[in-house]
Amino acid sequence: MDGLMQELVARYNYWIYVILMMIGFYAMIGKRNLVKKLLGMNIFQTAIILFFVSIGVKNQGSIPILSKKQALEGVADVAQVINPLPHVLMLTAIVVGVSVTGVALAVLQRIYKEYGTLEEDEILEKISKR
């Protein structure tokens, strides 16, 4: 039991991302309201972004900017600096996520104009009546 607790605490960032991801996944699959599905997708994406950001972090690490003195002396210690690459990657992923959300919201607007509702069941009912 102690071992399990230690495992949970030592890797809590992974647990958080898995839990967030599952919440998002549930909303995407289980909810019938299209806006809720979209929110679920956003939570899902955010979970992955948090996962990436967390893997760059180091204990007691400083920001990845060299001071002039360090650079001249050549004493920068890589182990003391957090890894910026995952953060940079996630900037791109955030842009992608925002674009997808934007397209999805525009599509939702068209759906609402067409059917007057955003509940999937009601939309399908209206489609089958036509």
Partner 1 sequence: MTNNLPLYILAAPLLAAFAVSVFGRLNSRVIAPLVLLPLGGSAFASFFLLLQVLQSGSFRYVVGNWEAPYGIELLFDPLSCLMLFLVTGVSFIASFSALPSTFRELPGRESLFFTLYLIMVVGLCGLVITADAFNLYVLLEITSISTYGMIAMGKGRPPLASFNYIILGSVGACFYLLGVGYLYILTGTLNMADLARLVPEIAGTAAYATAFGFVLVGLWIKMAFFPLHNWLPRAYWHAPAGMTVMVAPLMTKVSVYLMVRLIYAVFQPDWVFQPDFGLMTQLSVREVVLWIASIGIVVASIVAYSQRDLRRMLVYLIVAEVGYMVGGVWLANDLGLTGALLHIVNDALMTLCLFLACSAIWYAVGSTSFDSLQGLYRRMPLTMAAFTLTGFSMMGVPPTCGFFSKWYLILGGLDAGHYQFVGALVASSLINAILFFRVFEIAYFKAPEEGEDGPGLPRQEAPMMMTVPLVLAAALLLVAGFGAGTLVSRVIGVAIPELM
**Helices 34-56 & 12-30 angle (0-180, nearest 10):** 160
- Position 81, amino acid: V
Confirm or reject binding of residue 93 to partner 1 (CB under 8 A): yes
Identify whether the C-beta of residue 25 lies closer than 8 Å to the C-beta of residue 39. Answer: no
Number of Cβ within a 10 Å radius of residue 41: 18
* Smallest gap from residue 23 Cβ to partner 1 (A): 14
Confirm or reject binding of residue 81 to partner 1 (CB under 8 A): no
Footprint on this chain of partner 1 (rule: CB under 8 A):
25, 28, 34, 37-38, 41, 44-45, 48, 51-52, 55, 86, 89, 92-93, 96, 99-100, 103-104, 106-108, 110-111, 114, 120, 123, 127
